[in-house]
């Protein structure tokens, strides 16, 4: 039992160490452009991706680095992508918010809020015709729940019994606006009933809880039972974007968030179960070592050649 949780801890540390390194690289100018970190939200991709099969299609948002890593995208070409290097997963053309890695079932980030949901319906529908048995997973935020495209996708998936899992990362904010200013009821999973599909509000800071519900939802989906909405309640420790002054935080909010964030909580659980502190801390050291090496390797690679700028363009 503690093996599984130590594996979750390593997977979460890989994402956190990656994100912290990205923050440093952005500050020193090795990464340019808009960057959104998922620090604090790591348990959702770690639990969810564990339940996916290689042929399943995942659609993430601009806050998608953690989902790519959990899906198995190697971190060296991922760093390289964010740094605009020729060795990046998309040759440095996608950057932080638009990369894709179809070889790993990661069908892209998307900076249009809620845009992944209808695309996931298309992937699921295509799977019905090509016989692949593929399920599709679309990830979006609490703010995206108010986008028309997400409503349309949920209704479409339900009406056609499509194998789609709608994963809402409810971190309580849309950019700088708290959810209480956006909706009258913040129980977002309850909306699933309106589409005739199951909806579950779960602890998004607990990878095991996410894995359990994801497995269940995928099983239903693969058996022809249609879509499920999983509202994963979490909190981001970083700002909305790098440079966000976070003046909207209430007094004591960050202290509360840090006490219940997934890595701290899992560490405390492992300690309570008698796992030695040295063994737990070695997990962080290992993850940071891997990430440092990957970042150094990526940084040493050549930048994308401007002469190739017109390649892969279709008009
Ligand atoms: C269609 C569209 N509207 C508005 C924006 C600007 N925008 C970027 S992120 C964001 C907030 C989305 O919040 P949420 O869905 O909760 O995701 P989070 O950033 O919290 O992960 C907004 C409004 C956008 N990118 N696309
Ligand atoms: Mg949000």
CB 237 within 8 A of CB 40: yes
Atom of ligand 1 nearest to the CA of 144: 15
Q: Helix-strand-coil percent breakdown of the chain, rounded to 5? A: 50, 10, 40
Atom of ligand 1 nearest to the CA of 145: 15
**Nearest residue (CA) to ligand 1, atom 6:** 113
Q: Is pLDDT of 1 > 90?
A: no
Q: What CATH number was assigned to the domain covering residues 2-301?
A: 3.40.50.970
Per-residue pLDDT, averaged over 188-217, amounts to 98
Say how many C-beta atoms besides its own lie within 10 A of residue 203's C-beta. Answer: 18
Residue 9 pLDDT grade (very low, low, confident, very high; cuts 50, 70, 90): very high
Identify the helix (H) or strand (E) that includes residue 140: strand 136-141
CB 59 within 8 A of CB 164: no
Atom of ligand 1 nearest to the CA of 36: 19
Residue 315 pLDDT grade (very low, low, confident, very high; cuts 50, 70, 90): confident
Give the distance (Å) from ligand 1 centre to CA of residue 175. 6
Question: Is 112 close to ligand 1, i.e. is its CB under 6 Å away?
Answer: yes
> What's the token pair of residue 80?
């390289």
Burial of 146 (0-12, 13-18, 19+ CB in 10 A): middle
CB 144 within 8 A of CB 168: yes
Instruction: Please write the tens of the pLDDT for every residue from 21-58.
Output: 999 999 999 999 999 999 999 999 999 999 999 999 99
Atom of ligand 1 nearest to the CA of 171: 20
Give the distance (Å) from ligand 2 centre to CA of residue 141. 4
Question: Is 30 close to ligand 1, i.e. is its CB under 6 Å away?
Answer: no
Residue 278 pLDDT grade (very low, low, confident, very high; cuts 50, 70, 90): very high
| Phi-psi domain of 111 (left: phi exceeds 0; alpha: psi -120 through 50; beta: other) | alpha
- Domain layout of the chain by residue ranges: 2-301
Identify the helix (H) or strand (E) that includes residue 79: helix 75-82
Instruction: Please write the tens of the pLDDT for every residue from 106-142.
Output: 999 999 999 999 999 999 999 999 999 899 999 999 9
Q: Which of 65, 232, 253 is nearest to 142 (CA)?
A: 232
Question: Where would I find the H helices in 83-232?
Answer: 95-98, 116-130, 148-159, 192-195, 207-222
Question: Is 66 close to ligand 1, i.e. is its CB under 6 Å away?
Answer: no
Share of the chain above pLDDT 70, in %: 100
């Amino acid at each position: 039992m503690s093996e599984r949780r130590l594996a979750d801890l390593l997977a979460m540390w890989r994402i956190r160490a990656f994100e912290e390194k990205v923050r440093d690289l952005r500050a020193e100018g090795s990464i340019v452009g808009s960057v959104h970190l998922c620090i604090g939200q790591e348990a959702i991709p770690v639990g969810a991706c564990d339940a996916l099969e290689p042929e399943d299609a995942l659609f993430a948002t601009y806050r998608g680095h953690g989902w790519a890593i959990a899906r198995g995208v190697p971190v060296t070409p991922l760093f390289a992508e964010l740094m605009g290097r020729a060795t990046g997963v998309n040759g440095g053309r996608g950057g932080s918010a638009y990369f894709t890695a179809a070889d790993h079932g990661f069908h892209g980030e998307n900076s249009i809020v809620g845009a992944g949901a209808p695309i996931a319906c298309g992937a699921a529908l295509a799977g019905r015709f090509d016989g692949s048995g593929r399920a599709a997973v679309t990830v979006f935020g609490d703010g995206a729940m108010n986008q028309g495209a997400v409503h349309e996708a949920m209704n479409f998936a339900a009406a056609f019994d499509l194998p789609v899992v709608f994963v809402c990362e409810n971190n309580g904010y849309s950019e700088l606006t708290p959810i209480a200013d956006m909706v009258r009821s913040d129980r977002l999973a309850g909306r699933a009933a309106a589409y005739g599909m199951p909806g579950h509000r779960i602890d998004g800071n607990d990878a095991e809880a996410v894995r359990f519900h994801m497995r269940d939802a995928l099983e239903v989906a693969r058996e022809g039972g249609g879509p499920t909405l999983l509202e994963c309640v979490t909190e981001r420790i970083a700002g909305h974007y790098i440079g966000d002054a976070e003046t909207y935080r209430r007094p004591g909010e960050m202290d509360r968030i840090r006490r219940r964030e997934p890595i701290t909580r899992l560490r405390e659980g492992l300690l309570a179960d008698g796992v030695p502190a040295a063994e737990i801390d070695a997990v962080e050291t290992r993850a940071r070592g891997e990430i440092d090496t990957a970042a150094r390797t990526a940084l040493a690679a050549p930048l994308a050649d401007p002469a190739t700028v017109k390649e892969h363009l279709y008009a």
